[in-house]
Structure 1
Amino acid sequence: MSNLLSIAKSGLAAAQAGVATTGHNIANEKTPGYSRQLVIQSSLGGQNLTGGGYIGNGTNVDSVKRIFNDFLAAQVVAAQSSTSQLDTYYAQMNKVNNMLADSSVGLAPVIQSFFKGIQDLVNNPGGASSRQAMLSGAEALVSRFQSMDGQLSSMRAGVNNEITGAVTNINAYAKQIAQLNDAIAKAQNGSGQPPNDLLDQRDLLVAELAKQTKVSIVQQAGDYNVFIGNGQPLVVGNSNYDLVTVTSPTDPGRLEVGYVSNGTTYTIPESSLTGGNLGGLFEYRSQSLDPIQNALGRIALGLAATFNAQHKLGQDQNGNLGGDFFSLASPAVTGSTKNTGNAQIGASISNVDALTTSDYRLSYDGTNYKVTRLSDNASMYSGATFPAGTIDGVDFSVTSGTMASGDEFLIRPTVNGASGLNVLIKDVKEIAAATPIRTGAPTTNTGTGAISAGNITSAFDGSAVTTPVTLTYDSAANTLTGFPAGMPVTVTTNGVPTTFPAGTPVTYTAGSVISFGGAEIKISGAPANGDKFTISANTNGDGDNRNMLALGELQTKNVLQGGTASYNSAYSQLVSLVGNKTRELQTNSASEGALLKQMQTAQQSESGVNLDEEATNLLRYQQAYQASGKVMQAVSDMFDVLISLGR
């Protein structure tokens, strides 16, 4: 009889455990990270009590098993890390795209307005109001460059803030995982049974950690050992290691991530911290934000340099040659805080056409100097002597001191191009709308020869026309004479230059460019013998708009990026590049998100709570409990029969 009671009792206990577990599943159906649980039973075996066979002893609840697939969980963690990286990159990139694509805050409208002011000045070169309007347009253009650069700098500061937040989250998750490792180990050692809910909490924390950075999990004796980057341990057993934000040794405005071990902080390379929010921030900053800000700076530098070059070929209302109209920002050079030498490095831009959107690292290993282009890690120079030539339009110099072994410098040629752009001309009279030389031909000429209006090159210093020059054509020799004494003359025909020594007659070729002392003219047609042509200083250039016409032509000329882009097209290329990258990230982010959802669905199909299934289990366990109760009642009735027989 007692055996029958123990069998019924074990059935009641098993059914009760099943009802409790099913109820626990139902209650946690919406709990993040929860894995459904299942009661594992086993038979208690039997005894040969009658000699006629074995009679069982009931059931035993061996364990409550967590339905969890390690392989699917690892796939979800990996997909979560990739999705978070793309989502972060896309969100950041979309901010830049919205800024550049907004016609109300972009460059295109102010460039158009600036050159409209130039065209107005072409029509009224001597008018003070037109000159002031042109200066105002220039100031608006400069302000827009500075505003856009300021927004990009704000985004850079925002990245620093988000990196700090990501590091804080990573440290918090690592600490909690280590604590759970300890709690799980104690629970298992005490009962020998897996603490399912603690295991779920730990796996949920790992998934949350993967949203911040890519992680590798190594299981050891029930613990999760978590590694990041190039294998740096974040959690080992019940111990966790902290990450910290550190300032870049070569860029005070740039935060990096450091790893603390035994009280020493080691900087983790950005390239090794892939995946998650942190990986997305680093990739966005290095692959997009830096090149975009550099590209904007390159446009500003190119505009300033080409506009200045043409403006200096003109003459202002004071009779002086034009000066620089815009300021050009110098490259930013910062030495590493770890440098032990005392060298001061300088950099200057010698060719804006050759500039790239990359930054450069200059290093010295004690034997060789090396210049590396950071955008593609290309070695631009390596040698025992300091780089003396021009590298991508930039010249390097040692202004003082010497570099020690291990010293390095970061050179950013164009980063300050937009922020450092300013209008240098403040007086409207200093706008060089005219050309410094005038040409003419007497009405007494009898041939059809005609002389161009003339222009100058950067070699012009005024000496060529200090005294008016009168050229005379000799039809017998087909030559021109009368050029300034002591000045050679260069005649360029179909792009081929021919230089005539000073004082020698110059062979006449119709339509060729004739240059001397920085002055350039063209004589076309068929001059007659003795025909004369004059070149003199422009002593009254108030109504002269020739240089302003040349400045206006810069709007549509391909004067940037090696003669392949105009001001507007260079900016359009930048906008297009950002837009295409944003769309690419949007597509990849959506695709990776769909993959993550598939992985999560597959995991939930195995580990998630199905209410229909749990309702069926609840009914089954309820019926089992009732049946075990019936067994108990039957045993009670049997006892009553035995007692009644004893009376």
Structure 2
Amino acid sequence: MSNLLSIGRTGLLAAQTGLATTGHNITNASVAGYTRQGVVQSTLPPLNQGVGYIGSGTQVAQIKRYYDDFLNKQLMNAQATQGSTDAYLSQISQIDNMLSDSTIGLSPALQDFFRGVQTANSTPALQSSRESMLSSGETLAARFHEVSGRLQELQDGVNTSVTNTVNGINEYARTIADLNRKIATATMDPLNPPNDLLDQRDQLIRELNIQVKVNVIPSDNNMLTVTFGSGQPLVVGTQALEMAAVQSPTDPGRMVVAYPASGRSTIISDQAFAGGALGGFLDFRRETLDRVQNEIGLVAAGMADSFNDQHRLGQDLNGDPGLDFFKPVKGYVGYDTRNSPNSTGTIDVTISDAKALTGKDYDLTFANGRYTVTRSDGGKVVLTDGNGTPFPEPDTASFDPATVPQPITFDGVTMTLAGAPAEGDHIQLRPTYTAAANFDVAITDYRKIALAAPIATGPGTANTGRGSISVGTVDEEYLGHQLASNVTLTFNKVPDPADPTKTIDVLQGLPADKEITVRDAQGKLLDTYPVGTTEIPYRAGTTIGIGEPEATTPPKLFGASFTISGEPAAGDTFFIGPNTGGVGDNRNGVLLAGLQTKNILNNGTATYQGAYAATVNYVGNKTREKQVGSAASETAVTQALANQQSVSGVNLDEEAADLLRYQQAYQAAGKVMQVAGQLFDTLLQIAQ
């Protein structure tokens, strides 16, 4: 009887455990992260009764947790991708909305500015038209400031998001480490772990994974090691290795992630966060925000430099050479706060060639007595010394500051160094990073606008032939070698030295103290005449240059140039000289207006508006890419969650069936015990 009673009792206990487990599933069905549990029963060892082995009942071997590691990892990967994509999209959408807004975009302001230049050209002598040009320049500067300010707000927003996300990650890490401790303490039998604690920890890891993509490695006593990136630790056993958002060592306005230390913090590379919201924020800043700030700055710096170059070739209402119309742009220089305190090395970076600007950032490092310049995209850097000589291969980006003539130029910027650097010094150079914020009009007096050209040309009043002379142009070096007075050129026919019976056409009266060049209509150099030459052959339609030579091959002439065309008569004269009556002259203004449609930026392949449009197009395409990615990642998460829940989720219909099954088992086991009791009572009655 006792054996039958014992069998009934074990069945009753097993059914009771099944009812409790099923009830636990039902009541926790809506709890996030809860994993379905089930009772695993096993048979108790049978008893040998001589006639054979008779069963002794059942036992609960395990409360099984229906968990699939593969499906869980699939879900975590999908959630990490979604977290990164959604964080990226939330930020880039703001830039896309800003750049596409016609009320605050740069394109209308650029058009309005050049419309102001054209208005000034139409009536160059009027004060009102010149003041209108100044006003449109100030409006353009204000628009650059507005766009730059909005981008800086986004930069600040990313800083806040990075800081808050890192703080949240640290909180998750501490809680997971504490759960590791509790789970290890509660794990007496590896086959019977504390399932509810495991669920809590897995749910926290999934939530952490949405913030930063993590890798999970099993450890002793059911503990887990949590890492990110290429193995950077976050949780090791019961210890949480906390991170911190700190100021970038080269940019105090930029928050980066580091392992804090009492001495020197260890900066963690942005690329280590390849997923999750934190990765999305950092990817957005690195791939889009930095690029847009640099490219908007490139438009600002390129315009200031090229417009100033042309403006300086003009002449203002006072008859003086033109000054800078816009304030010259300086590049951002970030000295690494970790540099040696003994370092006194300083660098000044200015924009010197709009066409060569790349919109990239550069790192300057000092080691073994040499500076090395590295471009952020890995592109080749070729430095040019103060004499204009490119550094030789293969070390085109490395130099000894003590021996190389300064300033040093590369990629459209000029770099001037001072002081004594220390071994290991690191400096970040961002030539166009702050250009939009610093873009401003330099002149305030309308009379200083240089719309006139500094030279004047014209035919003699007594000419009888059909020759003409162009208005003439000057280049960037003319102001250093101006013509002091009018030069009068005379067309004549002189005997041909090769055949005195014939004549040749010549131009006479060229200045003896200047070098002369002759180029064809395509700009190809035809002849160079040394200082002292006053007579050259006449070739209609060729461009004649008067100025100072530069030792290049082919020779480049710095100065003034003009073209004489047609068929002059013998004795006809043409003059070229200083412009002494340029109040109504707009020749330089026309050249200034022409900059709007001239391919200046990106190595002469894009206009100002074209370069800006390329940035807008990049942002639009990237935004669309992230929108598609967000929709795809949402679908992936939904599918991965469905797959995971098909194994681990609680099905209430199934649990209701189990509830009935265990109820019936409980009642049946109770009936066994009841029968055993009745049989025992019968035996007692017989014994009486």
Q: Does 1:492 align with 2:492?
A: no
Please list, as runs of the form range in 1=range in 2, the aligned pairs for 1:109-128 lying within 5 A after superposition.
Answer: 109-128=108-127
Number of the residue aligned with 2:628: 587
Q: Does 1:596 align with 2:637?
A: yes
Q: Kindly tell me: are residues 554 and 265 of structure 1, through their superposed partners in 2, closer, same or farther at Cα, counting changes over 3 Å?
A: closer
Q: Kindly tell me: are residues 633 and 11 of structure 1, through their superposed partners in 2, closer, same or farther at Cα, counting changes over 3 Å?
A: same
Number of the residue aligned with 1:619: 660
Number of the residue aligned with 2:493: 475
Q: Does 1:392 align with 2:414?
A: no
> Which secondary structure state, in structure 1, belongs to the residue aligned with residue 602 of structure 2?
coil
Number of the residue aligned with 2:543: 513
Number of the residue aligned with 2:451: 433
Number of the residue aligned with 1:258: 258
- For these two proteins, the number of residue pairs brought into alignment is 645
Number of the residue aligned with 1:27: 27
Q: Does 1:343 align with 2:362?
A: no
Amino acid in structure 2 at the alignment position of 1:631: V
In structure 1, how many angstroms separate the alpha carbons of the residues matched to 2:102 and 2:149? Answer: 17
Runs (5+) with no aligned partner, structure 2? 383-395, 495-503, 548-558
Number of the residue aligned with 2:572: 531
In structure 2, how many angstroms separate the alpha carbons of the residues matched to 1:564 and 1:93? Answer: 27
In structure 2, how many angstroms separate the alpha carbons of the residues matched to 1:318 and 1:264? Answer: 59
Q: Kindly tell me: are residues 357 and 310 of structure 1, through their superposed partners in 2, closer, same or farther at Cα, counting changes over 3 Å?
A: same
Q: Kindly tell me: are residues 463 and 332 of structure 1, through their superposed partners in 2, closer, same or farther at Cα, counting changes over 3 Å?
A: closer
Amino acid in structure 2 at the alignment position of 1:374: S
Amino acid in structure 1 at the alignment position of 2:652: L
Please list, as runs of the form range in 1=range in 2, the aligned pairs for 1:352-367 lying within 5 A after superposition.
Answer: 352-367=354-369
In structure 2, how many angstroms separate the alpha carbons of the residues matched to 1:191 and 1:227? Answer: 24
Q: CA deviation at 1:383?
A: 4.1
Q: Does 1:276 align with 2:279?
A: no
In structure 1, how many angstroms separate the alpha carbons of the residues matched to 2:61 and 2:485? Answer: 113
Number of the residue aligned with 1:504: 534
> Which secondary structure state, in structure 2, belongs to the residue aligned with residue 570 of structure 1?
helix
What TM-score does the superposition give when structure 1 sets the normalisation length? Answer: 0.94
In structure 2, how many angstroms separate the alpha carbons of the residues matched to 1:195 and 1:536? Answer: 97
Amino acid in structure 2 at the alignment position of 1:371: V
Runs (5+) with no aligned partner, structure 1? none
Q: CA deviation at 1:296?
A: 0.9
> Which secondary structure state, in structure 1, belongs to the residue aligned with residue 427 of structure 2?
strand
Q: CA deviation at 1:646?
A: 5.8
Number of the residue aligned with 1:571: 612
What TM-score does the superposition give when structure 2 sets the normalisation length? Answer: 0.89
Number of the residue aligned with 1:108: 107
Amino acid in structure 1 at the alignment position of 2:112: S
Amino acid in structure 2 at the alignment position of 1:479: V
Amino acid in structure 2 at the alignment position of 1:342: T
In structure 2, how many angstroms separate the alpha carbons of the residues matched to 1:46 and 1:481? Answer: 130
> Which secondary structure state, in structure 1, belongs to the residue aligned with residue 83 of structure 2?
helix
> Which secondary structure state, in structure 2, belongs to the residue aligned with residue 475 of structure 1?
strand
In structure 1, how many angstroms separate the alpha carbons of the residues matched to 2:453 and 2:631? Answer: 59
Q: Does 1:323 align with 2:326?
A: no
Number of the residue aligned with 1:415: 433
Q: CA deviation at 1:242?
A: 1.4
* CA offset digits 1:470-491 (Å, max 9, x no partner): 2211034411223344233322
Q: Kindly tell me: are residues 397 and 436 of structure 1, through their superposed partners in 2, closer, same or farther at Cα, counting changes over 3 Å?
A: closer
In structure 1, how many angstroms separate the alpha carbons of the residues matched to 2:359 and 2:486? Answer: 47
Q: CA deviation at 1:569?
A: 0.7
Number of the residue aligned with 2:140: 141
Q: CA deviation at 1:423?
A: 0.4
Out of 450, 468, 472, the position equivalent to 2:468 is 450
Q: Kindly tell me: are residues 121 and 348 of structure 1, through their superposed partners in 2, closer, same or farther at Cα, counting changes over 3 Å?
A: closer
Q: Kindly tell me: are residues 544 and 85 of structure 1, through their superposed partners in 2, closer, same or farther at Cα, counting changes over 3 Å?
A: same
The answer as to whether partners of 1:294 and 1:415 remain within 8 angstroms in 2 is yes
Q: CA deviation at 1:356?
A: 1.1
Q: CA deviation at 1:627?
A: 1.9
In structure 2, how many angstroms separate the alpha carbons of the residues matched to 1:605 and 1:365? Answer: 59
Q: Does 1:555 align with 2:570?
A: no
Q: CA deviation at 1:188?
A: 1.7
* CA offset digits 1:146-198 (Å, max 9, x no partner): 11111112211211111111211111111111110111112223998311110
* CA offset digits 1:488-521 (Å, max 9, x no partner): 3322223233233334212221122222243322
The answer as to whether partners of 1:464 and 1:484 remain within 8 angstroms in 2 is no
The answer as to whether partners of 1:464 and 1:516 remain within 8 angstroms in 2 is no
Q: CA deviation at 1:55?
A: 2.9
Bigger CA drift: 198-207 or 539-548? 539-548
Q: Kindly tell me: are residues 160 and 473 of structure 1, through their superposed partners in 2, closer, same or farther at Cα, counting changes over 3 Å?
A: same
The answer as to whether partners of 1:225 and 1:235 remain within 8 angstroms in 2 is yes
Out of 364, 371, 374, the position equivalent to 1:372 is 374
Q: Kindly tell me: are residues 382 and 12 of structure 1, through their superposed partners in 2, closer, same or farther at Cα, counting changes over 3 Å?
A: same
Amino acid in structure 2 at the alignment position of 1:532: T
The answer as to whether partners of 2:329 and 2:351 remain within 8 angstroms in 1 is no
Runs of 4+ in 1 over 6 A off after TM superposition: 261-264
